[in-house]
């Protein structure tokens, strides 16, 4: 598979065309942003850690029945993926109160929820990724009710799989964000896209609550690279 022209540059990745229209290459950068790019920086080797972490986690969820765009790891920073038409909705699943939920509800971080919460956000940095609901998504033609039901079901399934995966590695999966897309070469079938990495998950060491995710960068907690390296070690061991 040959890499062709750049199609899109996001905050953490670049997407390239290949010589086959059904496939793209995702290139993982070291650039880090937070608060919808109001804070910017670099996390040394993050692109390599995230490519390795996401490659492994896509294979883990795929094996348990959640279809993803992952095809194979091509190099330290490159992943071959199926071409997707990304649905402009971010699906956030939460097991424990943290981040925006703590702020919105006026409560402290750390309380375990009696059941997972799924929040839906419009994928639009210029608008600060506002929270939206299913009616809005359907009325604006972002996705159908059937697609939304499928996205929710996949998010809950990914949660079960990854809670167990991280639990076995002494890490609590606090929350995470997923993106889905329609795969043109599979008749528009819904696949999990984007990435599953500490950029878009909260991971707390069990017992101590030590943060092993992008909150170390967002909140200037130090030892940012070390946390990504630790997650890579845990995930790929």
- The closest alpha carbon to 171, from 162, 180, 179, belongs to 162
Minimal distance, residue 34 CB to ligand TMP, in Å: 9
Strand partners, 26: 15, 79
Minimal distance, residue 10 CB to ligand TMP, in Å: 11
Does 169 participate in binding ligand ASP (rule CB under 6 A)?
no
Going by C-beta distance under 8 Å and a sequence separation of 6 or more, which residues neighbour residue 81? 23, 24, 25, 26, 69, 70, 71, 193
Give all strands of the β-sheet with 171-178 in edge-to-edge order.
Answer: 131-132, 112-122, 89-96, 171-178, 201-205
The dihedral of CA 40, 215, 60, 118: what is its sign? negative
By the 8 A CB rule, do 172 and 111 touch? no
Minimal distance, residue 88 CB to ligand TMP, in Å: 12
Minimal distance, residue 73 CB to ligand ASP, in Å: 23
- The closest alpha carbon to 81, from 20, 29, 25, belongs to 25
Binding region for ligand TMP (CB under 6 A) out of 56-64, 79-87, 164-172, 194-202: 194-202
33: partner contacted, choices ligand TMP, ligand ASP, none (Cβ within 5-8 A by kind): ligand ASP
Residue 68 neighbours by CB distance under 10 Å: 24
- The closest alpha carbon to 235, from 60, 44, 39, belongs to 60
34: partner contacted, choices ligand TMP, ligand ASP, none (Cβ within 5-8 A by kind): ligand ASP
The 52-91 contact track toward ligand TMP, x by CB under 6 A, reads --------------------------------------x-
For ligand ASP, the binding residue among 33, 55, 82, 197 (CB under 6 A) is 33
By beta-carbon proximity to ligand TMP, the closer residue of 18 and 51 is 51
Q: For 188, phi and psi rounded to 5 degrees?
A: 85, 15
Binding region for ligand ASP (CB under 6 A) out of 31-39, 43-51, 136-144, 225-233: 31-39
Minimal distance, residue 214 CB to ligand TMP, in Å: 7
By beta-carbon proximity to ligand ASP, the closer residue of 74 and 98 is 98
Does 11 participate in binding ligand ASP (rule CB under 6 A)?
yes
- Which residue is it, tokens 């079960």? 160
- The closest alpha carbon to 213, from 62, 34, 59, belongs to 34
Minimal distance, residue 204 CB to ligand TMP, in Å: 11
186: which DSSP letter? G
Return d(Cα 136, Cα 140) in angstroms, integer: 6
Residues that bind ligand ASP (CB under 6 A): 11, 33-37, 214, 218
Please give the residue ranges that form the binding site for ligand TMP (CB under 6 A). Answer: 90, 92, 98-101, 121, 129, 175-177, 200-202
């Amino acid at each position: 598979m040959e890499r062709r022209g750049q199609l899109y540059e996001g905050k953490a990745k670049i997407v390239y065309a290949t010589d086959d229209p059904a496939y793209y290459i995702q290139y993982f950068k070291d650039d880090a942003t937070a608060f919808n790019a109001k804070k910017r920086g670099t996390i040394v080797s993050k692109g390599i850690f995230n490519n390795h972490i996401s490659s492994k986690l896509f294979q883990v969820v795929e094996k348990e029945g959640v279809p993803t765009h992952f095809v194979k790891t091509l190099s330290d920073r490159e992943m071959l993926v199926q071409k997707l038409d990304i649905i402009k909705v971010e699906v956030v699943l939460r097991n424990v109160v943290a981040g925006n939920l703590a702020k919105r509800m006026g409560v402290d971080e750390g309380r375990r929820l009696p059941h997972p919460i799924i929040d839906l956000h419009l994928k639009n940095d210029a608008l600060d990724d506002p929270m939206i609901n299913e009616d809005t998504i359907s009325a604006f033609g972002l996705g159908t009710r059937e697609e939304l039901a499928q996205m929710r079901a996949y998010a809950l399934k990914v949660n079960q799989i990854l809670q167990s995966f991280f639990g076995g590695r002494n890490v609590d999966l606090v929350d995470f964000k997923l993106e889905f897309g329609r795969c043109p070469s599979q008749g528009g079938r819904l696949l999990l896209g984007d990435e599953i990495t500490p950029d878009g998950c909260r991971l707390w060491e069990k017992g101590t609550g030590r943060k092993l995710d992008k909150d170390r960068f967002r909140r200037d907690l130090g030892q940012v690279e070390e946390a990504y390296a630790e997650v890579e070690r845990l995930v790929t061991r």
